[in-house]
Structure 1
Amino acid sequence: MRITVPGTAPTVLVREPGPRIAETVHGLIDQGAVVTVLTADASPTLLDLAARRLVVIDGDADPAAYDLVLRDPLSANDARTTTSPGGSVVLVGGGPGDLGLLTVAGLDALRGADVVVTDRLVPLGALDEAPEHAEVVHVGKIPRGAFTSQEAINHLIITHARAGKRVVRFKGGDSFVFGRGGEEWAACVEAGVPVQVIPGVSSAVAVPALAGIPVTHRSLTQGFVVVTGHVAPGDPRGTVDWEWLGRSGLTLVVLMGVAALPQIAAALVHGGMDPKTPAACIEDGGMPSMRSVTATVTTIADAADQAGIHPPAVTVIGDVVTALKESP
């Protein structure tokens, strides 16, 4: 359900938030609204939105102080089920979170969906474009909070497809860049379910760009490397040669690496990286709450910590961080 808000940057108070409150909030902020949710019992999803500064939670908000007051229109999922012949799965990369960075093909897939299985870091406002009958299932992982296992997600999309539904698996960034899309593809193929992929704008390049950082720049670097920082250097589960990266001369883009930044920086410098190499950490790229800090590789972890940078965040390390002057 599409909500139209009046004016520029209106203040909106949402009452009676339901399990799909994230969709409501994203639909409002996509139109420039400043959103407050009236509740004394915030769900993990709502707490996550508040931690990312996308919404304010207020149990005593005065409705008279807001431009618009509304009841969460998605407080109940009244989606009707339908059956269509020839069920299938489409893995749609939703980009970094900005509705404008969702591809045309991805939007078309949403408009034809019977079921949308969605992560939390997609442009949730785009779900307004799904058919009225479409069922929306949230499976996004909240850091150190609720999550749906990958096995359960695989089972979910296959079950719906076998029931004849057109299933869109809506994922942040690009499905095949640390999105576990390959696992979902393999599960569909093994189950005999037709599957296709619609690439998305990867946060690995889009988020640095939105912060004014090109991952390559002539005369500075001849390439870039994208790695996950989910497993810190020295962890026996890790396979990244951090010390080699430290002397590679390539731009380093680290996804999911906020917690391990101190160990990552130490390994890079130990491998030969200049301690004065510029670095930036960008939180919530593409969202109204986006912010960043810039430092050196040896100080970026402290700078991010002092600024209160939290996931989702992208870290860029290399001379490209300071390559461009700020636009006038």
Structure 2
Amino acid sequence: MKHTFQPHVTLVGAGPGDPELLTLKAVKAIASATVLLVDDLVGDAITAHASHKARIIHVGKRGGCKSTPQAFIEKLMAQEALAGETVVRLKGGDPFIFGRGGEEVEHLQAQGIAVTVINGITSGLAGVSSLGIPLTHRQHAHGVVFITGHAKQGAADSVDWVALGKTAQQAKLTLVIYMGVSGAAHLQQALLQSMRPHTPVAVIHQISLPEQRHVVCELQQLHDTILREALTSPSVIVVGDVFKGLLAMQQSEIGRVVAAS
């Protein structure tokens, strides 16, 4: 019986960076690949799970390009899959949370290529968990919003931060803002129009990696704190009352230090 060839691509979430946070399913997929298209934030400790025979293609800023065009990545995935390769697209975090996985699935399926998606731990969740803080809490947060801070100000699809802040305040929502550090001044100004100035905020940098560091401050201090601590991308900004206890503890410690001096 003759079998019909079915080209296939697997989108794998590599998680926030720590290789120990990979799922078993992700590790198996990486090991089975003959071609790996690797995101710019995926480290060597993760690609180490690949076969020594696999061809590893870096398709992000660390691949030697200023920015690899999305259209090129999609074309390359399809080309390799149609050539019979076992293709794995290895993406930081989760493919379907700001990973452009939806676009890639649509492009591949339109060419008759089957797609499997393996989820990864998104950095917003991993970062907050590393501090021992939940994203939701029966008393402080009834839900969570994952949102990008990267949209251009004034664009037709830009986020209405004032309205979002009002909703978060009223409904007790935690805001997890990806790619927002460069626009922190605008975020702070907009959110302060509808949220309390003393609302706790955390900024977490290099999540799950040995270089991880974080700061906790009030919303009204966000931009100045980022500048003072020289926090850059990749970082996640988390806004919400789930950090009340951590902020109070930090302020109490600062008070003791000032009193002692």
Shift of 1:86: 4.5
| Structure 2 Cα separation of the partners of residues 127 and 262 of structure 1 | 36
Residue of structure 1 in register with 2:189 after alignment: 266
Residue 236 of structure 1: which of 155, 159, 163 is its match? Answer: 155
Structure having the larger proportion of residues in helix: 2
Note if contact 2:12-2:118 (Cα within 8 Å) is conserved in structure 1. Answer: yes
| Structure 1 Cα separation of the partners of residues 105 and 66 of structure 2 | 24
> 1:61-72 counterparts in 2 under 5 A?
none
1:131 is aligned with what amino acid?
S
| Structure 2 Cα separation of the partners of residues 178 and 168 of structure 1 | 18
Instruction: Please list every run of 5 or more consecutive structure 1 residues that lacks an aligned counterpart in the other structure.
Output: 1-84
Residue of structure 2 in register with 1:309 after alignment: 231
Count of aligned pairs: 238
Residue of structure 2 in register with 1:61 after alignment: none
Farther off after superposition, 296-305 or 160-169: 296-305
- 2:236 counterpart of 1:323: no
Note if contact 2:14-2:46 (Cα within 8 Å) is conserved in structure 1. Answer: no
Shift of 1:131: 1.3
> 1:25-40 counterparts in 2 under 5 A?
none
Residue of structure 1 in register with 2:82 after alignment: 162
| Structure 2 Cα separation of the partners of residues 215 and 112 of structure 1 | 34
Note if contact 2:201-2:237 (Cα within 8 Å) is conserved in structure 1. Answer: yes
| Structure 2 Cα separation of the partners of residues 123 and 98 of structure 1 | 9
2:217 is aligned with what amino acid?
A
2:190 is aligned with what amino acid?
A
> 1:68-79 counterparts in 2 under 5 A?
none
- 2:15 counterpart of 1:92: no
Residue 277 of structure 1: which of 199, 203, 206 is its match? Answer: 199
2:76 is aligned with what amino acid?
L
Residue of structure 2 in register with 1:257 after alignment: 180
What secondary structure does 1:285 align onto? coil
Shift of 1:114: 0.4
What secondary structure does 1:137 align onto? strand
Residue of structure 1 in register with 2:166 after alignment: 247
2:61 is aligned with what amino acid?
K
C-alpha distance after superposition, 1:54-73 (max 9, x if no partner): xxxxxxxxxxxxxxxxxxxx
Shift of 1:211: 2.7
Shift of 1:133: 1.1
Residue of structure 1 in register with 2:101 after alignment: 181
Shift of 1:128: 1.6
Note if contact 2:40-2:58 (Cα within 8 Å) is conserved in structure 1. Answer: yes
What TM-score do you get using the length of structure 2 for normalisation? 0.87
CA shift in 2, pair 1:265/1:254, >3 Å: same
> 1:122-201 counterparts in 2 under 5 A?
122-141=42-61, 146-201=66-121
1:107 is aligned with what amino acid?
V
What secondary structure does 2:61 align onto? coil
Instruction: Please list every run of 5 or more consecutive structure 2 residues that lacks an aligned counterpart in the other structure.
Output: 251-261
- 2:113 counterpart of 1:221: no
- How many percent identity over aligned positions? 39
Shift of 1:237: 4.0
Runs of 4+, deviation exceeding 6 Å: none
| Structure 2 Cα separation of the partners of residues 237 and 91 of structure 1 | 30
What secondary structure does 2:60 align onto? coil
Note if contact 1:213-1:323 (Cα within 8 Å) is conserved in structure 2. Answer: no
Shift of 1:257: 0.3
1:242 is aligned with what amino acid?
W
- What RMSD over aligned residues (CA atoms) do the two structures have, in Å? 1.7
Note if contact 1:89-1:195 (Cα within 8 Å) is conserved in structure 2. Answer: yes
